Chains A and B, each alone.
Chain A
Amino acid sequence: MKKELPEHFREYRHVWVFMELERGQVHPVSFELLGEGRRLADQLGVQLAGAVLGPPGEATSHAVTEAFAYGADLVYLLETPLLTDYRNEPFTKALTDLVVTYKPEILLLGATTLGRDLAGSVATTLLTGLTADCTELDVDTDGSLAATRPTFGGSLLCTIYTLNCRPQMATVRPRVMRMPLRTNKPVGRVIRHDLPMVEEEIATKVLGFLSDGKSETANLAYADVVVAGGLGLGAAENLRLLKNLARTIGGEYGCSRPLVQKGWMPVDRQIGQTGKTIRPKLYIAAGISGAIQHRVGVEGADLILAVNTDPNAPIFEFAHLGVVADAIGLLPALTEVFSRRLAPSRRVRLVT
């Protein structure tokens, strides 16, 4: 099945990570990808580079520093005011130009709204392969990228290759890969590139941005502790038991897909294949049966506690700790024990 790589692609070398930067912040998924990219680059014996695209200024230079701190050997930097806010046209041209000029063999992006918007355009412009939402990346014996992703809602996994085009592109969702350790590596080689484009060529203008601000949902993917509920909670009013426990242990709360379909919780609280991927230290699944779609979103958790009345629920197959009990009764008991154990000197006031 392997094909001979056409001559003009043979000089494509090195692994790149697109450093996602929107409104001054590097998205943490970029660091997770640098960790993964480091491993792939080491296996291939090539260099790892960050691609930083943004407006001239502090945010962009911070992204450069952080790319090195999280493992990059070098950074390709394209600075222009045209890249101040994300817009498809200038970002597609900028990233495509960088790829055509410096020829990476692997290009990784976060599967965020920005990353997916950009990756599809860049891959189509370059007429190369793009594999979405990978959960595992590897390099096979002849140096090809093996990108594994869930398909059909997570019921199957498939491994995908891009055989005779370069670069090999993949997106990975936030929290699927482990966050690497940050080091204090000094800034290394930075290769600057220009964007031959003017504002008048860009049809799309950003008129404004309505920030979610300190939204309750912003931290779900990156929370240390997550408490989530499923249909076993029985009624929408029982969600307060979930929120109480989450608040007591300083965690976030979420739910499985059926609760979103019932309208009990907004879609951005949904955990699983079509919702958020989480990687907390502790995950408590209350009344969740644990369909495969849910499993793929939570199996990166360090410790999974499952509470379900059905001893045969699939959640017990991947939980570390299981209790066959009604979550409606156990959640308040857990809340009480946790609050006593963790904050003996100052009782946390519970919501009634």
Chain B
Amino acid sequence: MHIVVCIKQVPDSAQIRVHPVTNTIMRQGVPTIINPYDLFALEEALKLRDSHGGKVTVLTMGPAMAEEALRKSLTYGADGAVLLTDRCFAGSDTLATSFALSKAIAKIGDAFGTPDIVFTGKQTIDGDTAQVGPGIAKRLNFRQLTYVAKITSIDLASRAITVERRSEGGTQILNSRLPCLITMLEGVNAIRRGSLDDAFRAACSEIVKWNAADAGIEEITKCGLRGSPTVVKRVFAPTPRAQSAVQIETSDKTLRHVADEVVASILTQQPALELALSSNLA
């Protein structure tokens, strides 16, 4: 079985700077980590490989420094890593990103074996869109299984997979076919500590680096800003609320008196609440 895991290197802090002209995020100087949600996907892929055999290839699109995230994935036990990096990808929105990644996955298939499953985390912590996974699935024409909490079974002979998928108000049990794309829910497993062997191998491994041409991408206009139908027009900080809180004085008062005052103040500001709260109790 060949599994491809798409990961993303994301900023690890809130020290975000925005380019004043292009309104794009400037990543320089901000510490980076592997998107935490992607680690649940990576662990699930490694578990499947351990029980069914095969290999796990980790793929990321990003600047040269994203190599660190790939090397880290190798220390956890991934078998191979591909960095998709080219200036022409800069400014990609989710549609352009899914285009480039799907092309790279197809190329990985040619070079290292056709993937049975592509994994991603449920979303990234910087973009928070949860759109790239579904985008890749659609472009590859893979079945799409999002918010997966558990892989119940895989039958490689009949190309069948059964999963539990989180949805509103419950869990769907779905049976589908391989190849498929799975986005993994958070908290469903814990990333392993890599072995010493893996750490040694990771340090010595060559990370495969592809530019657009290497990945077989001829339609450069579908990449980067040109290939992105969405355009960020303005980035701005949220406006502070004009009025700050009315403070209830607490000095020289018992907590009981403070509470009396708080409740009185709540019911004065929102008279309708008294009825609403009373009826909640009924």
Residue positions of A touching B, CB distance < 8 A: 1, 22-23, 27, 85-89, 92, 112-114, 116-117, 119-121, 123-125, 127-133, 146, 150-165, 203-212, 215, 218, 224-225, 248-251, 267, 273-274, 281-282, 292, 295-296, 299, 302-306, 316-325, 329-330, 333-334, 336-338, 341-343, 348
Contact = CB atoms under 8 A, between A and B. Distances in A.
**Smallest CB-CB A-B distances: 8 pairs:** A250-B280, A120-B134, A322-B245, A129-B229, A333-B259, A132-B129, A129-B230, A124-B138
A157 B246 CA distance: 27
B174 A205 contact: yes
Given A121-B138, A249-B280, A325-B258, A204 B16 contact: no
A317 B95 contact: no
B278 interface: yes
Given A146-B233, A303-B273, 9 more contacts: A86-B172, A88-B143, A123-B135, A151-B126, A155-B237, A162-B231, A267-B187, A318-B244, A323-B262
Contacts of B38: none
Nearest to A282: B273
B247 interface: yes
B245 A316 contact: yes
B18 interface: yes
B107 interface: no
B172 A317 contact: no
A334 B264 CA distance: 11
Interface stretch (B54-62, B110-118, B163-171, B199-207): B163-171
Interface in B1-56: 11, 14, 16, 18, 23, 25
A133 to B, nearest CB: 6
Given A116-B131, A224-B280, A158 B262 contact: no
Contact of A207 (B23, B134, B174, B274): B174
Given A120-B133, A128-B229, A204-B176, A210 B248 contact: no
How large, as a class, is the contact surface on chain B? Answer: 35 or more
Contact of A204 (B95, B134, B135, B174): B174
Contacts of B108: none
A341 B137 contact: no
A132 B230 CA distance: 11
23 contacts: A27-B168, A112-B168, A116-B146, A120-B132, A124-B95, A127-B95, A129-B229, A130-B129, A133-B128, A154-B238, A158-B232, A158-B236, A160-B232, A165-B229, A205-B174, A250-B280, A267-B187, A317-B240, A320-B269, A323-B258, A325-B250, A330-B259, A342-B278
B14 A152 contact: yes
B241 interface: yes
Given A113-B167, A124-B135, A321-B246, A207 B230 contact: no
B144 interface: yes
Centre residue among B128, B139, B278 by max chain A CB count within 10 A = B128
Q: From DSSP, what is the main secondary structure of chain A's interface residues?
A: mixed
B233 A159 contact: yes
Given A207-B162, A321-B262, A117 B245 contact: no
A152 B255 contact: no
Nearest to A204: B176
A314 to B, nearest CB: 10
Nearest to A249: B277
B193 interface: no
Contacts of A1: 231, 233
Given A129-B95, A224-B276, A321-B262, A162 B173 contact: no
Nearest to A131: B230
